[in-house]
Amino acid sequence: MKSIFALLFALTAVSCQSKEKKLSAEKNKEIEIMDEQKGLEVATVAGGCFWCTEAVFLELKGVKKVVSGYTGGTLKNPTYKEICTGTTGHAEAIAITFDPKLISYDDILEVFFATHDPTTLNRQGADVGTQYRSEIFYNSEAQKKAAENFIKLLNDQKIYGKNVVTAISKAGIFYPAEDYHQDYYNQNKSQPYCMAVINPKLEKLRKNYPSKLK
């Protein structure tokens, strides 16, 4: 827990919005956040561009799968183009399937809060809009309580110098993003956004959390 006090990542002015590529032929279907494998849990968080958050959590020991997608809105089967308008109510989010025997939900919260700015409303760096909001979508009452306690700790100890604006909401329907968004960083390491924004975050993650890495 102590490591989060010294780990506040710098934001950059590079945006993750890019010209939309051709969508997958198969339309995204509604799914509920769950995992069929016994003993695994799912954490759902939004902290700006999902290219960043996905890349960070794929590095962690105990994380079995990370899916980028859209949640928290009203439009059924939204597309990236629709999400980017900021009018659907969805956040760019990730669903993290993890083994609680190897990594705790509190560990996931710690890394989440250490790798984005939870004090800027509907914004991460140059990415502006409700789709880039900071939000935790809890999948159980235990997750809700843990998130509430963590935010209270951050605020009570004035870790950021101002209050955390991260919302806490019950998880609803999660729509997986188009195929080209999945594992985006590893497929596009030479892309300017990956080099300017994601690389520095991963470097600091590896420096500050070596024991949590795969």
Q: Active-site residues: which are they?
A: 49
Eight-class DSSP state of 60: B
Dist CA 206 CA 122 (whole Å): 27
Eight-class DSSP state of 198: I
Q: Are 176 and 68 within 8 A, CB to CB? A: yes
Q: Are 184 and 51 within 8 A, CB to CB? A: yes
Q: Amino acid letter at 65?
A: K
* SS3 label, residue 156: helix
